[in-house]
Amino acid sequence: MSALNDRIPVTILTGFLGAGKSTLLNRVLKDPVMKDAAVIINEFGDVGIDHLLVESSGDSIIELSDGCLCCTVRGELVDTLANLMDAVQTGRVKPVKRVVIETTGLANPSPVMQAIMGNPVIATNFELDGVVTVVDAVNGLQTLDNHEEARKQAAVADRLIVSKKAMAEATDGLEKRLRALNPRAVMMDADSAEAGSAAVLVNGLYDPATKIADVGRWLQDEDAHGHHHHDHHGHADQDPHDVNRHDASIRSFSIIEEKPIDPMALEMFIDLLRSAHGEKLLRMKAIVSVSDRPDRPLVLHGVQSIFHPPVRLPAWPGEDRRTRMVLITRDLPEAFVKDLFDAFLGKPRIDMPDRAALSDNPLAIPGMRI
């Protein structure tokens, strides 16, 4: 099992048609940090690279004038990543320190995320570093109203980049809507200096300079920002006029556990969650204190039913040694997930199933011992 910082970080750049992904990408590629990056573009996408193409380094890999590599998706994304890795390992192209994948504007980002996590060979060499979603300030509210893909793009993002603010009459409504959909994402103005640098693409567990784990930034929790983002529960805790009816089914919430968790209980909880409710689990990130090695926390990262291979950190990155899980779900209530988690931990609750009741549940996975 390789350490997280041994793998090449991958950032997914997404956003609806016309949101401004190509403009942002071209600005970011001018950052000297990106000279060792590879950019993967779906050939049916709407991105145009402004840079002069210098030479072909492989069947579908070209080198840009500033040193970046660029390749198009021909067939499956997994094949493109595998070909890129093979080209690097055989010396046909220079080593790559980062990959950026630009999705088509109509794409649900989940399959792209799953392609990185779900293939054993790809997961050995690459890690999903983050999702950056560009949202158009002029048409963003209407797009969110009319397109489920746009809502998913916003909900799973680590960073939300609001573009074309200067052209919009007001952006307060859009930003409030995005914050309701995804309360933990870092929101930026596309015209800001930070959004035009490579920093906009970095969201990894490890700080790229120090290689020290930064769990707070990765989970986007109170450790990273000095305050706690309020969880979103649809209409339950907000004025219904503030939340679009389509958004109410999407929730972002956290689970925090003080005591180390039995590894078998954790495994069964994850297995049941992803097998029975995977399509409703838009994203999950966690650092877990496991009872067999409480000094070495476990890192989990999942999208729907696909999870990245679990990774043990060499040590806790800070004083906080609690288990922290951040989940983004669609039509999967927070109370249900937390009660399921408590049941596997053996916490009996009034009028709720304890471990014994759960084992008799006809919906439980056949053959699972609890």
pLDDT per residue over 156-191, tens digit each?
999 999 999 989 888 899 999 999 999 989 999 999
pTM of the predicted model, to two decimals? 0.81
In angstroms, how far is CA 213 from the centroid of its own chain?
17
Q: What percent of the chain shows pLDDT beyond 90? A: 35
Is the Cβ–Cβ distance between 258 and 289 less than 8 Å? no
Helices (H), the chain: 21-29, 77-89, 109-118, 120-125, 140-146, 148-155, 172-181, 215-219, 222-225, 263-277, 334-344, 355-359
Rounded-to-integer distance, Cα 91 and Cα 107, Å = 33
Mean of the pLDDT values across residues 232-256? 63
User: SS3 for 100?
Assistant: strand
Rounded-to-integer distance, Cα 130 and Cα 342, Å = 29
Per residue in 344-370, pLDDT (tens digit) is: 888 765 554 555 444 444 344 443 333
Q: Which CATH class is domain 4-204?
A: alpha beta
Mean of the pLDDT values across residues 131-152? 93
Strand partners, 300: 286
Domain boundaries for CATH 3.40.50.300 within the chain? 4-204
Letter string b/e over residues 142-181, b meaning 16 or more CB atoms within 10 A of that residue's CB = ebbeebebbbbbbbbbbbbbbbbbeebeebeebbebbbbb
> Given pLDDT bands bounded at 50, 70 and 90, which one contains residue 201?
confident
Superfamily of domain 229-359: CobW-like, C-terminal domain (3.30.1220.10)
pLDDT above 80 (res 33): yes
Per residue in 299-321, pLDDT (tens digit) is: 999 999 999 888 888 899 888 99
Q: Name residue, tokens 């991105």.
A: 47
Any idea what DSSP says for residue 230?
P
pLDDT above 60 (res 213): yes
Per residue in 259-286, pLDDT (tens digit) is: 999 999 999 999 999 999 999 999 999 9
Rounded-to-integer distance, Cα 178 and Cα 323, Å = 27
- Which residue did the predictor score with more confidence, 114 or 207? 114
| Nearest one of 81, 80, 55, 85 to 67, comparing CA atoms | 55
Any idea what DSSP says for residue 185?
S
Domain boundaries for CATH 3.30.1220.10 within the chain? 229-359
Rounded-to-integer distance, Cα 357 and Cα 31, Å = 57
Q: E strands along the chain, which residues?
A: 8-15, 37-42, 53-56, 61-64, 69-73, 98-102, 126-136, 159-163, 186-189, 250-257, 281-288, 298-303, 306-307, 311-312, 323-330
Rounded-to-integer distance, Cα 161 and Cα 193, Å = 12
User: How many Cα atoms within 13 Å fall on the side-chain side of residue 282?
Assistant: 28
